[in-house]
Amino acid sequence: MRKLTAVAFFLGSIASAQAMPLAPVATAPNANVIQVAGGCGIGWHRGPYGGCLRNYANPGAHACPRGYHIGPYGGCRGNGR
């Protein structure tokens, strides 16, 4: 009985190998969707409370010194220390 079960399992696993496609299905990009960066525009991102904040690419242009970040009301706060 064990041999019959093992043979049935083996044959069943061979027959089910056709379920996986050989190549991925290519989907066309949706032309009706326009991707935006959080709705804030170029150079800006969404803040923790939903407002738009400026992205600073130049470290010298940061509003706060190194080791600090802009807090909830716009003031500089320490980074977790």
d(CA 73, CA 43): 20
59 is a domain residue: yes
Q: Residue 50 has what pLDDT? A: 84
- The CA-atom distances, in angstroms, between 62 and each of 42, 51, 66 are 17, 18, 9
Q: Residue 51 has what pLDDT? A: 86
Contact 65, 76 (CB under 8 A): yes
42 is a domain residue: yes
**Predicted model pTM:** 0.29
57 is a domain residue: yes
80 is a domain residue: yes
Q: Which helix (H) or strand (E) holds 46?
A: strand 44-46
Residue 20 vs residue 80, higher pLDDT: 80
pLDDT mean across residues, the chain: 74
73 is a domain residue: yes
Contact 62, 53 (CB under 8 A): no
Q: What domain range is 59 assigned to?
A: 36-81
5 is a domain residue: no
